[in-house]
Amino acid sequence: MTKRDYLTVTDFTKKETLELIDEAIKLKHERKSGVNHNDLAGKTLGMIFEKSSTRTRVSFEAGMMQLGGHALFLSHRDIQLGRGESIHDTANVLSRYVDGLMIRTFAHSGIEEFAQYAEVPIINGLTDEHHPCQVLADLMTIREEKGDLTGLTMCFIGDGYNNMTHSLMEGAALMGMNMHVASPEGYEPSADITNKVHSLHETNGGSFQFSHDPAAAIADADVILTDVWASMGNETEEAERMEKFADYQVNGALVSSAAPNYMFLHCLPAHRGEEVSASIIDGPRSFVFEEAENRMHAQKALLKKLL
């Protein structure tokens, strides 16, 4: 079988993505019914972390265990990559030990280089430009609540040049959803990804709109998303970002023009009182903990397909 990687949402077709989501929902229901699987018995997933994580590590590790496999946590301090060994050599060596690699790192070019040289599937656990596993879980959560994804409107309020924004844009375009993004000036999404999603919308339906006005972007939205204003790597800009994003908080006043049965999602960790008010993230339209749980189920479906 030809090796497949999952570096961005669009590495899989719409049909393949929907099949993954439906398989994830099935696995979730079976898990809650006490049904266990051993599809990955004897398989090992190597997990390279150059950025720390709660949900990514635990969801992949628990998911592999539930499928009968094993996961190895590899901090960059624990392997020779952190001491200057090349990606080429690391990828070649690890390919001889494990059946797949999940990598959570900084530059997206680094994970692309891993995929180039590795002989086993590479899964993007997060880079500075993309977060496909999170968006796969987001789409699963929306499908569980709303059913058909086509034609729904997602709205992201916050930093447009952000891995979550980019992957959400790609996911919406792949599924034929409408995607609205509102960000302050200077924080617009990547031009390359914007051009890519416009092309995808021409094929799959839906549309992409960007605005500097959060109230205009959120009007009639079915799904509202945000993320922290200063992601990992942006900590030195925190004070500046707090000032520039002050009018972009998702709160009761802002969501008043959204669809009455809107869903609120957040990839977590969240900073209540900054990007979102406590009344929204802890309110009745919030699905953030279901979304966090779905990371594991969505990734189990992905692991089964790739490994």
Indicate which residue of 130, 143, 295, 297 is catalytic. Answer: 295
> Which pLDDT score is estimated for 253?
98
CA neighbor of 200 nearest in space, from 37, 10, 30: 10
The whole-number average pLDDT for the span 147-171 is 98
**Is 295 marked active-site?**
yes
The tokens describing 73, both together, are: 């946590």
157 or 232, greater pLDDT: 157
In which order are the strands placed within the sheet that holds 153-157?
Answer: 208-211, 178-182, 153-157, 223-226, 263-266
- Positive or negative, the CA dihedral 137, 138, 144, 149 is negative
Query: Among residues 225, 6, 27, 252, which one has the least CA distance to residue 111?
Result: 6
Q: Report residue 89 as tokens.
A: 């050599």
Fold match between domain 14-131+293-306 and domain 133-290: yes
- Calculate what percentage of the chain has a pLDDT beyond 70: 99
288-306 and 55-66 helices, crossing angle to 10°: 50
Binding residues for L-ornithine: 163, 227, 231-232
Q: Are strands 263-266 and 44-49 parallel, antiparallel or unpaired?
A: unpaired
On average, the pLDDT of the chain sits at 96
State how far the Cα of 63 lies from the Cα of 55, in Å rounded to an integer. 11
Binding residue ranges: 53-56, 80, 104, 131-134, 163, 227, 231-232, 267-268, 295
Catalytic residue among 227, 249, 266, 299: 227
Domain boundaries, the chain: 14-131+293-306, 133-290
Q: pLDDT above 90 covers what percent of the chain?
A: 93
The count of other CB atoms within 10 Å of the CB of residue 89 is 12
| Annotated catalytic residue, options 99, 130, 134, 159 | 134
* CATH no. of 14-131+293-306: 3.40.50.1370
Of these residues, 5, 104, 108, 128, which one is catalytic? 104
91-142 residue pLDDT tens: 999 999 999 999 999 999 999 999 999 999 999 999 999 999 999 999 999 9
Q: Which of 131, 166, 201, 266 is catalytic?
A: 131
The predicted pLDDT at position 236 comes to: 82
Catalytic: which of 99, 159, 249, 267? 267
> Is position 272 annotated as part of the catalytic site?
no
How far apart are the two ends of the chain, measured CA to CA in Å? 10
83 catalytically annotated? no
Residue 113 burial (CB < 10 Å; 0-12/13-18/19+)?
middle
- Mean pLDDT, residues 218-229: 98
CATH fold of 133-290 reads: Rossmann fold (3.40.50)
Q: Enumerate the known binding-site residues for carbamoyl phosphate.
A: 53-56, 80, 104, 131-134, 267-268, 295
Residue 232: what pLDDT? Answer: 67
138 labelled catalytic? no
